[in-house]
Amino acid sequence: MRKKIVAGNWKMNMDYTSGMTLFSEVINMVNDEARGDQEVIVCPPSLFVYSLAQLAKGSSKVSVGAQNCHQADSGAFTGEISASQVKSVGAEYVILGHSERRQYFGENNELLAQKTDAVLKNGLRPIFCIGETLEERNQNVHFQLIKEQLEQGVFHLAEADFAKVVLAYEPVWAIGTGVTASPEQAQEIHAFIRKEIEAKYGVEVAENTTILYGGSCNPKNAAELFSQADIDGGLIGGASLKSRDFTDIVKAFNIQ
């Protein structure tokens, strides 16, 4: 049975005090209200990862991730953080390939494959994001693009390593826009992704891979999205900044 996951991506929001308050509220609510078989991951700005990971130690349901890391182990890369540093402060996950990293920081599939290797080598799990722009969807090249993102970003991995990858389908046109993919649109792509995994790694690996949906997911639309056969949870941006909204999304699994 694949894992149900809701992950929050705070992006470059929150100062230390407001972040700690938000995370404390999330931990308390999730501990009380989430089903036992769900995993909740919060990815704050890297400065706060250590403090959040300390707080998360008391929770069996909540863990912490970084939003990015460098592909090298260490060295003269001013301003960057390595996967081993992320690991050393208690995180368990790293988001890779978010469309904002691809768009604003020029991250391509080749670089992301290297980052994926670094993350796995250091005992962390990547939350690997893929998805098309509106232009690509309108040109009907989105299936091909997603196939390439998979092939070039994560399909070089051996099966045992691929099994540690969480995928997130995030249509770029839905991120932070308030426009959500319809459950049917999202399910269509998730089923396509699972078929591609099956073709590469076989049916068992495909069935066990968690594939999250991301893009303006909120407490109102989460239950319908999460009820789709191939949608195993969400990667949540804006709504992860409010403890009640985020926890209500976590609880959406219970009301399918």
Residues that bind ligand PEP (CB under 6 A): 9, 170, 175-176, 214-217, 235-239
Least distance CB 239 / ligand PEP (angstroms): 6
Structure tokens at 58: 């008391």
Which of the following is catalytic: 39, 70, 98, 190?
A: 98
Residue 132 annotated as catalytic: no
Which of the following is catalytic: 39, 132, 136, 170?
A: 170
Least distance CB 9 / ligand PEP (angstroms): 5
Output 116 or 201, the one with its CB closest to ligand PEP.
116
d(CA 49, CA 30): 18
Helices 109-121 and 142-153: angle between axes, nearest 10 degrees: 40
Output 153 or 237, the one with its CB closest to ligand PEP.
237
Least distance CB 54 / ligand PEP (angstroms): 25
Output 119 or 206, the one with its CB closest to ligand PEP.
119
Residue 142 annotated as catalytic: no
Structure tokens at 20: 């700690």
Nearest residue to ligand PEP, by Cβ distance, number only:
237
Output 123 or 176, the one with its CB closest to ligand PEP.
176
Least distance CB 57 / ligand PEP (angstroms): 26
d(CA 211, CA 189): 10
Which residues belong to the active site? 98, 170
